[in-house]
Structure 1
Amino acid sequence: MSTHPGTEITMHADDAPQPPKRKRRPSKDAPSLSSDRIIAAALDLIDTQGVDNFSMRNLAKLLGVYPMAIYWYVPNRNALVARVTAHVLADLVPEDPSADWQDDLRTLLHRFRAIIRAHPNVAPLIGAQLVSNASVDLMMIEWVLQVLRRSGLNEADIPAAYTATIGAMTGFVTQEFAAVPQDDKTGWADEMKQIAQSADPEQFPLAAALMPKLLNRSFILRWDNGSAVPLDDGFDFFVESFIAGLARRAGH
């Protein structure tokens, strides 16, 4: 798939050692583990501490086990992060399609944004993990393809339209909920305000006139992400423009 570029996942030092080829099952005295419990705990850590601070050692501490016990269920940190992403997106596709393909696409885009809004620290992973085998969701792929076919697009245009749809789904939202610098956030906000206020009306007439509506409520000119200041108007405009473009291409 072609998606908005994601954040590259780095390997922490405490995650580097790989389990031996002959894995030992957790002892009977160890807390009960399962793939579901590990994924839930990993998501909790990512939600509260962010991806950069997520490690297998911290996860093991939360679960009350030794780190090696986790490797019985997942081969490495990257694979676990991919499974967490797949888990977050598990309910993305609506169960029942509507009679209107445009409503279906609208629902898909809004549901994706709602999911990421609930787990904003997952946003940087989307671009990277949607190309991971653990995140390939054939049901979602088929659903999008079927919606695009119902739009009336030529069969030859559907693959490109599918790529554009995935890009539309992930691109805006990934940027809206991208992590913002936490060091000296107040100073960074003040600097952004000074840059905005320095816009010369003669040199940048439209930017200067619209700056009160743009500042911290639009891409680039902000210091908060969508968790604190959602870009609702921009997202709605984006969704409707994308769907209208597809409809026009399909001859509607």
Structure 2
Amino acid sequence: MPRKRGERAGLTREQVLDAALALVDRAGLPALTMRALGAELGVEAMTVYHYVPSKEALIDGMVERLFTAAHPAEPGPDWREHLRRYAHDLRAALLRHPGILPAAVRPATTPATLDAVEAGLRALTGGGFALGTALDILNTLTLFVLGHTAAEVGIGPEPPAGLAELDEARYPLLLQSLRSGAGTDDAARFTFAVEVLLAGFAATLPVFFSAAVVVEKEPE
């Protein structure tokens, strides 16, 4: 039986998506075309369509690769640990592939991405959150990770030029921070913010409010 178009290449969908990520990291998202991706893989552009039917599906698949790598496959017994791992793994994946950041805000559409979201929702609803609140929490945390990582990539590791020449009398605390490094570590700031978000999410649990109810004093 003759093989279908694309099978001669000996590729997998995952290899195609990873090659697309590498291309975007090197040349930027505007440079991503089926022809350019085919050249990256050493195949004709039509072969790429065997694995992804359109450029939109290709970009959705690239986003899928990042989010499924970050989301734990199954919800654990502790929703905090599930979200903590997700946040740190997603940041790491985005820092490895910063070229995809402009497209990372796309809604989840592929089955694998939706499976990852479902696992997060199971972790949160299993921890006592209402479904709507659980979805709000996932979206809030995801948008924070995307924004923080985009800022890290855009600003870079070095402080903006000219800050070291600030007026000492006017900006003593800013200069002290620059010289000591206090508050300038991206990873430490990210970890701090994630822990604050987790604490805030926990404070919305119904059990938190019921435990905080003041018991009326019995009449003497």
Amino acid at match of 1:176: T
What is the distance in 2 between the residues matched to 1:160 and 1:206? 39
> Which residue of structure 2 lines up, in the alignment, with residue 13 of structure 1?
none
Question: Does structure 1 residue 193 correspond to structure 2 residue 129?
Answer: no
User: In the TM superposition, what whole-angstrom CA distance separates every residue of 1:160-182 from its partner, at most 9, and x where no partner exists?
Assistant: 4422333323423443255449x
Kindly report the root-mean-square deviation, in angstroms, between the aligned alpha carbons of the 2 structures.
Answer: 3.3
- Determine helix, strand or coil for the equivalent of 2:30: coil
- Determine helix, strand or coil for the equivalent of 2:53: coil
Whichever structure has more helix as a proportion of its residues is: 2
Question: Does structure 1 residue 234 correspond to structure 2 residue 189?
Answer: yes
Question: Does structure 1 residue 112 correspond to structure 2 residue 79?
Answer: no
Distance 1:202 1:115, change over 3 A: same
User: In the TM superposition, what whole-angstrom CA distance separates every residue of 1:151-210 from its partner, at most 9, and x where no partner exists?
Assistant: 434x3xx424422333323423443255449xxx9xxx69x221x134334444433332
Match of 2:22 among 44, 61, 70: 44
Match of 1:147 among 123, 148, 155: 123
Superposed displacement of residue 31, structure 1: 3.7
Unaligned runs of 5+ in 2: 212-220
Amino acid at match of 1:67: A
What is the distance in 2 between the residues matched to 1:150 and 1:132? 22
Question: Does structure 1 residue 138 correspond to structure 2 residue 92?
Answer: no
Is the Cα contact below 8 Å between 1:104 and 1:147 reproduced in 2?
yes
Is the Cα contact below 8 Å between 1:82 and 1:135 reproduced in 2?
no
Is the Cα contact below 8 Å between 1:116 and 1:122 reproduced in 2?
yes
Question: Does structure 1 residue 98 correspond to structure 2 residue 76?
Answer: yes
Question: Which range moves more in the overlay, 100-109 or 159-168?
Answer: 159-168
Distance 1:38 1:204, change over 3 A: same
Question: Does structure 1 residue 210 correspond to structure 2 residue 210?
Answer: no
Superposed displacement of residue 119, structure 1: 2.6
Is the Cα contact below 8 Å between 1:46 and 1:122 reproduced in 2?
yes
Amino acid at match of 1:243: L
Match of 1:70 among 37, 48, 51: 48
What is the distance in 1 between the residues matched to 2:111 and 2:57? 10
TM-score (norm 2): 0.72
What is the distance in 1 between the residues matched to 2:81 and 2:97? 24
Is the Cα contact below 8 Å between 1:31 and 1:65 reproduced in 2?
yes
Q: Which of the two has higher C-alpha Rg?
A: 2
User: In the TM superposition, what whole-angstrom CA distance separates every residue of 1:112-146 from its partner, at most 9, and x where no partner exists?
Assistant: 2232233333333211x3x1533773322222222
Match of 2:138 among 134, 145, 165: 165
TM-score (norm 1): 0.64
What is the distance in 2 between the residues matched to 1:168 and 1:214? 26
Amino acid at match of 1:193: A
What is the distance in 2 between the residues matched to 1:53 and 1:103? 38
What is the distance in 1 between the residues matched to 2:181 and 2:146? 18
Unaligned runs of 5+ in 1: 1-24, 219-229
Number of equivalences: 202
> Which residue of structure 1 lines up, in the alignment, with residue 200 of structure 2?
245
Superposed displacement of residue 240, structure 1: 0.7
Is the Cα contact below 8 Å between 2:73 and 2:119 reproduced in 1?
no
Q: Which has the higher contact order (CA 8 A, sep 6+)?
A: 1
Amino acid at match of 2:92: A
